[in-house]
Structure 1
Amino acid sequence: MQQHTLRTALVTGASRGIGRAIARRLAADGLLVAVHYGTDGAAAQETVDLITADGGRAFAVGAELSTHEGVLLLVEGVRAGLLAHTGGTGLDVLVNNAAVSSSGGHLQDETVEQFDRVFAVNVRAPFFLVQQLLPVLRDGGSIVNIGSAVTRVSLADELAYAMTKGAMETFTRTLANVAGMRRITVNTVAPGPTQTAGLTAAMAAMPQLEELLIAGQALPWVGQPEDVAEPVAFLASPAGRWVTGTVIDASGGTYLGPKR
């Protein structure tokens, strides 16, 4: 592949789970992927190694996104990595996947510190990451925000987290209008329960959980990270060029209502 034709992507929170699946899927489409991680550099390197073993290209870059300084550090790291690998700093795809859900959950259990952290990572960081990277995002590029099905249902134990994902849906619609003149598409992909490490541990501790989750879905299996990565890859490809400002539900039909 010629250097000038090499497309590039940044996937935040790509050391494991959904982010890792997205990074691998984009790399399979020929993109050079910047694999962001917050604290687990070894896990991010595993993602890079998996990509290179499959014949793709990737590099890892670490930054803690709970602070604005961390966002700026990530921007610097991505630009340096792109320059080293391609000779330029142009970016084609930005996937805002990194998020935290660890807060008090219920209204009465929330603390100011937990609330601020979940909004800092889930909302403030992607907002300012877009602000910093939009100038180097190539015309015709793509921004994909990873949302959640919790924005269309009521889950009392995920209140603050759900609010952050609602904010990102609003960000998606407005940013699509801002970036559209440059043919940049902006969309949200919203997963439901997905079998990452946390859910796997929960199912091991509660054997009936898998059955309960499937009972609340239209499709009869627990979502896999790859099930989320596929629509992201579509939106990041030329095939998704006419889709912008929308939310694609990738939840297997979670909480659609009674089946009978």
Structure 2
Amino acid sequence: SALQATALAGVTHNRAFLLELLDQPIFVEGGATTDYIDRHYPEGFSSEQPGTASLAAGIVLQQILAAEQHFASALSVNEELRGWVSTGPVTRRHTYEVGDATFNAEITSSSAEQFSVTLMEATHTVTLQTLNADRVALLIDGQRVVLGYHQSDAAVIMLATDQYEVTLINTDLIPPESAEDAQGGKVQAPMHGQLVSLLVEADQAVEKDQRLAVFEAMKMQHEILAPVSGVVQQVNGHVGQQMAAGDVIMLIEEAEAE
């Protein structure tokens, strides 16, 4: 149980292999000989890879930890308002990396504890049960799962179960390398609200400060302006969509300075 409760991050280790050995009766009973590994693992050992349900758990955990941090830094916010928004369920879209794989995910939160995640053509419901400094209990599609975790920063979270360990990276949260990069072509929702109008489309050339979209929040409409001149590379939002503060509406490939 001590090994199961241990999560290792940042170093190469054989935790998953040791857990598998301890699940073998012959090994536990002392019947293993010096050729045990050669006979049972002639091609080496490969740990189980996480499926979409496990990745959805990591994505939700990252969202929950971010919300916890925002709530902790807020002033005089009633506990009953945790996770509440006036616009109903909020959907976010992010890009993630796991090893060499990159994928997109859509996360919809109906409360501070309940989420739906769609990724790789699969959809999972995830509900938070308990959370502490290094372990979380979730219901994933109705099944209880306990994960060990370590969050090195807002973009990177490491997960550990009996079967696998995985590092999940939200590439949208990776800090830019310079202030100049930070002012690039990422167009984000300024606050929680609804996208009521899109004035440009993918592959369209735009000028700096050109109107791109109209965003409605708290019964007021806000113009979304182009931060740079360039070409619209990708449009993530659609008219009528509820978005959270910081969600990426579109990406603009900045024109090279002449």
TM-score when normalising by structure 2: 0.32
Q: Which has the higher contact order (CA 8 A, sep 6+)?
A: 1
Instruction: Tell me which protein shows more helix as a share of its residues.
Output: 1
TM-score when normalising by structure 1: 0.32
Instruction: Tell me which protein shows more strand as a share of its residues.
Output: 2
Whichever of the two has the greater Rg, that structure is 2
